[in-house]
Amino acid sequence: MTVNTELQDTINDMVDDTRGILAADESAPTIAKRFKSINVESSEENRRFYRSMLMTTPGLGKYISGVILFEETLTQSTDEGATIPEAAWSQKIVPGIKVDKGKGPLAGAPGDMITYGLDGLAERLAGYKVQGARFAKWREVYPISAQNPTQLGLTANAEMLARYAAVCQQSGIVPIVEPEVLMDGHHDIERASRVIESVLQEVFYALHRHHVILEQMILKPSMVTPGSESSKASPEQVAEYTLRVFNRTVPAAVPSINFLSGGQSPEEATENLNAINQLANHAPWQLSISYGRALQQPVLQAWAGDNANKAAGQDALLKRARLNSLARQGEYSPSLE
């Protein structure tokens, strides 16, 4: 392996045994939807204040090692005048950037999706790097239905993730590879397990083809859970199925698996992570988080669009980050809620 010290320094700053990643990279339509739920207009100033509030939370760096930002946020500043990436790094939280351009239907595979944004990626990464970003994130989405994902869907999505990851590493940017298998549907945990195993097999085959250095990337996958319309699984079941799939498919060279929350409630996401870490014993990877909604939902409710509630919003974020840090170590208990 050729060691790129720039990439390795970023991995060293982001991967440890207590902290996780905050996903604050909601696109314009998604943040508008989040704000609408608390009757707040998605103006540029409201977005700036909200994301600045997240990044200036006192003590957040104790539990969070990286933050995924939306393009707009790289250029915005806190009330104190620092850019938001600078505010993050002042707490040793590594700033990163979402680089995909959203998804659409995959031609030739009805029901499957594909993500856009490879054109001009190297040039964009060079600009983001100047603005302080040290890692990137790209998400491919896999719906589960009777016929999806198809083999074409599996192959095409894996190819996009691998091409993106290779460009990132060539640019001195650590790639977060996110194959999200959606929870939507009536499928049971067995079906989810088979799909996620197939997805990850294809992803790592493509990463190998494109010479992506596994030691200098982070995987952001779904946990193995039943569909949202199916009966729930216990945290112990989620842990058992998840670890079985990851032991079969994820090479030991990958330094960290940072799960997405994917529609789980904040409490569920923490409880499932805790069960995974309790069962993992001597897993070769760190098992952590890259949660968006599962960290931010309580923050939005506490803030409620009133800037006088800034401290309450920050307290809500710090609490969830701390509880997930405990879950990282298998030491969380629902009584701490």
pLDDT (0 to 100) of residue 281: 85
Which residue of the set 26, 140, 178, 240 is catalytic?
178
Residue 337 within a domain: no
In Å, how far are 48, 65, 122, 194 from 323, measured between CA atoms?
26, 15, 37, 30
The Cα 77–Cα 82 span in angstroms is 5
Mean pLDDT of 204-215: 98
Tell me, yes or no, whether 124 lies in a domain: yes
- Can you tell me the distance from the alpha carbon of 212 to that of 138, in angstroms, rounded to the nearest whole number? 15
Domain that holds residue 326: 5-332
pLDDT value of residue 73: 97
Is there a catalytic annotation at residue 220?
yes
Per the domain annotation, does 316 fall within a domain?
yes
User: How many domains are contained in the chain?
Assistant: 1
- Give me the phi and psi of 115, to 5 degrees please: -100, 145
From the candidates 98, 220, 310, 319, give the one annotated as an active-site residue: 220
| Residue 278 in this model has a pLDDT that exceeds 80 | yes
pLDDT of residue 134: 98
> Which CATH number goes with the domain that contains 71?
3.20.20.70
pLDDT tens-digit map of 241-252: 999 999 999 999
Q: Which helix (H) or strand (E) holds 73?
A: helix 71-74
Q: Using the predicted structure, report yes or no on whether residue 276 has a pLDDT greater than 80.
A: yes
